[in-house]
Amino acid sequence: MGGGSSDILDYAGGIGSLARILSRYYHREILVYEDYMNEFKNDGCVKYINKDQLQRYDVVINSAMFEHITKREHLEHINSLVRDDGVLIIHTLIRENIPKNPNWFYIAPVHCSFHTNKSMQILMDNWGYTHSIYSPISKCWVLFKKDNENCDKLEQYVESINNLLQEEYLFYKVGFVDYWLD
């Protein structure tokens, strides 16, 4: 993976919080695509790109959007931005069982799609991802395409990181890490 600033896209990045943190504290610029938060786009702190500038990236980050998608074609579009050997990082709620309780805290008019471990495995299979890492603290899954050169090293990387942190901070699996089994 290249590692340059144009190699990472935060898709639907909102006000660019991640890009702002990475820029301010780590001097790293990432691109942000956002359709709706126009009032923040001209402050000069974040490099926003327009739809016609989208290309394919080593890493595509998507935080808290999968639960708002009603059409599969929108998910397909996000995946189409990931290079054949790239990585998709997603933050969304994934549960094995979706409560039928209308008072469930997560049901709101804006949350219209719910994903299970099985549905995520289906997406991974359809899109050519073969390995994943999950971080319970960040509630993020990192999905690796089958052609990613790091796939055969991921288990060792996760074990090494967990050893250094002296706790099980990351979880690895060939396929989708089905961490939330409730």
Query: What CATH number does residue 54 fall under?
Result: 3.40.50.150
User: Is there a domain that residue 181 lies in?
Assistant: no
User: Is there a domain that residue 126 lies in?
Assistant: yes
pLDDT over 80 (residue 113): no
- Tell which wins on pLDDT, 161 or 35: 161
User: Is there a domain that residue 166 lies in?
Assistant: yes
pLDDT over 60 (residue 3): no
Q: Number of folded domains in the chain?
A: 1
Confidence bin at 4 (pLDDT 50/70/90): very low
User: Is there a domain that residue 179 lies in?
Assistant: no
Q: Is 67 exposed, middle or buried (0-12, 13-18, 19+ CB in 10 A)?
A: middle
Among 27-36, 41-50, 109-118, the range scoring the smallest mean pLDDT is 109-118
User: Is there a domain that residue 128 lies in?
Assistant: yes
DSSP β-ladder status, 57-63 and 140-145: unpaired
Instruction: Output the CA angle 167-180-77, nearest 5 degrees.
Output: 110
Q: What is the mean pLDDT of residues 19-23?
A: 93
Q: Is the pTM of this model over 0.75?
A: yes
User: Is there a domain that residue 180 lies in?
Assistant: no
Among 1-15, 30-44, 46-60, the range scoring the smallest mean pLDDT is 1-15
Q: What is the mean pLDDT of residues 39-58?
A: 89
pLDDT over 80 (residue 12): yes
Give percent of the chain with pLDDT exceeding 70. 92
Question: What is the domain range of residue 93?
Answer: 5-174
pLDDT for 108 = 67
pLDDT over 60 (residue 64): yes
**CA distances, 108 to each of 13, 67, 102, 105, 114 (Å):** 21, 11, 9, 8, 12
User: Is there a domain that residue 122 lies in?
Assistant: yes
Give percent of the chain with pLDDT exceeding 90. 63
